[in-house]
Amino acid sequence: MPDQTYLTKRLLLRPPKPADAADVYRNIADWDVVRMIARPPWPYPRSLADEFVRTSSASVIEYKGEVIGAVGIAARSHGHNLGFWLGKRYWGQGFMTEAAAALITAFFADVGDVALNSSYLADNPASWRVQQKLGFVQTGPCVLQIASRDAELPGVKTVLTRAEFQAAMLGQASSGK
């Protein structure tokens, strides 16, 4: 799955390549992005963008020739986990819902009827809204380690089944979204 390329209505999802590092850095090196995701430190160094495009198994999201974010499903000891981020200039246009839906469609086609986990920080309603539009449900509170804030912060665990994803996609299609 990580080596795949997916085309959506507006976006191309594909594996990162070294030439993407400048776009990645421009879009992720922003406090409003980094403070919501677990691992990157703040300030976000350019070297980390270089490392990301060399080593990440996530898909980068390309829009009109620019890499504007990334979405990935990582295999963890407790199952598969969805993560995502998008450059602030591109928020609020349905891009992440569109990108994640393409990756999740491929994920369920590939691995079958397993649960997909995710989470979000309690102060991140936009992430929850994206997940909700994809069909995720909340499963309980958790604590998330956020490197950029050097803190463990309250969050919410979420899970998506194939049936809930399909129902959410049907709902979006019938509402014209």
Ligand X SMILES: CC(C)(COP(=O)(O)OP(=O)(O)OC[C@H]1O[C@@H](n2cnc3c(N)ncnc32)[C@H](O)[C@@H]1OP(=O)(O)O)[C@@H](O)C(=O)NCCC(=O)NCCS
Q: How far apart are CA 148 and CA 102, in angstroms?
A: 29
Gyration radius of the chain over CA positions: 15
Any contact of residue 154 with ligand X (CB under 6 A)?
no
- From candidates 130, 156, 160, 168, binder to ligand X by CB under 6 A: 130
Q: What is the DSSP letter of 43?
A: S
Shortest distance (Å) from residue 91 CB to ligand X: 4
Q: How far apart are CA 114 and CA 20, in angstroms?
A: 32
Any contact of residue 28 with ligand X (CB under 6 A)?
no
Any contact of residue 122 with ligand X (CB under 6 A)?
no
Distance of CA 30 to the CA centre of its chain: 16
CB atoms within 10 A of CB 55: 9
Residues in contact with ligand X, total (CB under 6 A)? 20
Q: Are 117 and 78 in contact (CB under 8 A)?
A: yes
Any contact of residue 44 with ligand X (CB under 6 A)?
no
Any contact of residue 124 with ligand X (CB under 6 A)?
yes
Q: Which residues within the stretch 47-106 sit at the binding site for ligand X (CB under 6 A)?
A: 84-86, 91-97
Contact footprint for ligand X (CB under 6 A): 33, 36-37, 84-86, 91-97, 120, 124-127, 129-130
